[in-house]
Amino acid sequence: MRRDADARLLARARAVIPGGVFGHRRTFAFAGGVARGLPENYPHFLRAAEGCRVIDADGRAYVDLLCGYGPTIAGYRRAEVDRAFAAAQAEGVAYSLPSALEVELAERLVARIPGAAWAAFSLSGTSSVDLALTIARAATGRERLVVAEGAWHGNHSGLAVGAGRPAADRRRSAWIPWGDLGALREALRREPVAAVLLCPYDQQVGATNRLPAPGLWRAVREACDEHGALLVLDDIRAGLRLDPGGAAAHFGIDADLVCLSKALANGYPVAATLGRERLCGAAAEVFVSGTFWGFSPALAAALATLELVDAAACARLAAMGERLCVGLGELASARGLAVEISGPPALPLIRFIDDPRFDRACAFAEGLARRGVLAHPTHNWFLSLAHDEAAIDEALSAAAGALDDLAEDAERRP
């Protein structure tokens, strides 16, 4: 497949941008400890998007199953959200004092997120987690954390791994397998811990996304209370896709601090750190700063997005996800291909069994892209409210072709 405009852009980008494509959008990333990201034969640049579709640099359209890695929950260019953004922008941006939008959004989120008494806003998931951990350390007078191995919480030198991340920073936390209560209790017994930082379910890239066992979150809460540690829920990825009150409402998680971002403003950058009443003093006391925090058009977009994300919307996301997952499972098993589909249907992770280097996953993503569907080989996918039955069926018909290729390839191999 010719991608002339894409190839020209990539050549220019390689001269001025590290690797040509920087950060998580590059064709190289870690999954399950293996360096494997987007396949090579895949578009590198997009130029437009609408509803559940994106258009690449060569003008080719795709049903998008990535939704910008999560932010697009109501569909690209959703009119209500974009109008709210434009109206706030018309009033001027980046004031030196907060706007009324900040108060309004805090009120709405406090009413929605279980246990939350206040909200503080920043611009990214990373900042939201950083804020939560700073507040937890200020409130407890402790420094150490308990964190799940393999979890991604953003760009924190002590929580991310790889080149440039000092090992000493990582040793400031105890690392446990997600959902392992024994390991959690042991870590909490060993030393004073400021916060246990966890995602609502095990959502590692390239690995089975395991949902919490019944009673897990109650037991985690009890363990935190027994040892005076705070429970920080990183709900940045799943967030409002599971429930209008986020994963805390969906799984019944009684957290002290909750981090939200991604889908909060349907693609516009905003993040919220929410907390319990008793942490309001510590939150007011810490010095934190971000020049662009409180960016009013994004706050207005968040308010408009919240209007769209109600229980019916979450049910629709789950139903469309279910249609996609059931269809994919049937297509794979009809071709004798072993796949595992895990995680919540609104943000499922598709994995080929016995595919340690993700070769089949990459070939599948390439096959989908050739047939007009943009999906990631190792990261979980995301559904939006713009995905209807017709779009899901279009994705399934592309998947049938891509899986045919894989099945033929498997037959050809000895």
Ligand X SMILES: Cc1ncc(COP(=O)(O)O)c(C=O)c1O
Which residues of this chain interact with ligand X, rule CB under 6 A? 69, 124-126, 129, 152-154, 199, 234, 236-237, 261
Residue number of the CB atom closest to ligand X: 125
Cβ–Cβ under 8 Å, residues 127 and 295: no
Q: Judged by CB, which is closer to ligand X: 138, or 347?
A: 347
Closest CA to 250 of 261, 269, 237, 267: 237
Closest CB 250 distance from ligand X, rounded Å: 15
Q: Judged by CB, which is closer to ligand X: 198, or 363?
A: 198
For 211-249, b/e burial (b = at least 16 CB within 10 A) is ebeeebbeebbebbeebebbbbbbbbbbbbbbbbbbbbb
Q: Which residue has the tokens 């503080």?
A: 120
Q: Judged by CB, which is closer to ligand X: 267, or 321?
A: 267
Closest CB 379 distance from ligand X, rounded Å: 9
The bridge status of strand 34-35 relative to strand 30-31 is antiparallel
Closest CB 199 distance from ligand X, rounded Å: 5
Closest CB 173 distance from ligand X, rounded Å: 15
Closest CB 125 distance from ligand X, rounded Å: 2
Q: Judged by CB, which is closer to ligand X: 106, or 129?
A: 129
Cβ–Cβ under 8 Å, residues 329 and 367: no
Q: Judged by CB, which is closer to ligand X: 121, or 332?
A: 121
C-alpha span between 355 and 246 (Å, rounded): 33
Closest CB 239 distance from ligand X, rounded Å: 9
Cβ–Cβ under 8 Å, residues 193 and 160: no
Closest CB 133 distance from ligand X, rounded Å: 12
In angstroms, the Cα distances linking 96 to 92, 205, 268, 383 are 11, 39, 20, 37
Strands (E), 51-154: 53-56, 61-64, 118-122, 145-148
Q: Judged by CB, which is closer to ligand X: 69, or 175?
A: 69
Q: Judged by CB, which is closer to ligand X: 358, or 382?
A: 382
Closest CB 337 distance from ligand X, rounded Å: 28
How far the first Cα of the chain sits from its last, in Å, is: 28
C-alpha span between 12 and 81 (Å, rounded): 34
Q: Judged by CB, which is closer to ligand X: 113, or 403?
A: 113
Q: Count of CB atoms within 10 A of residue 137's CB?
A: 18
DSSP 377: S
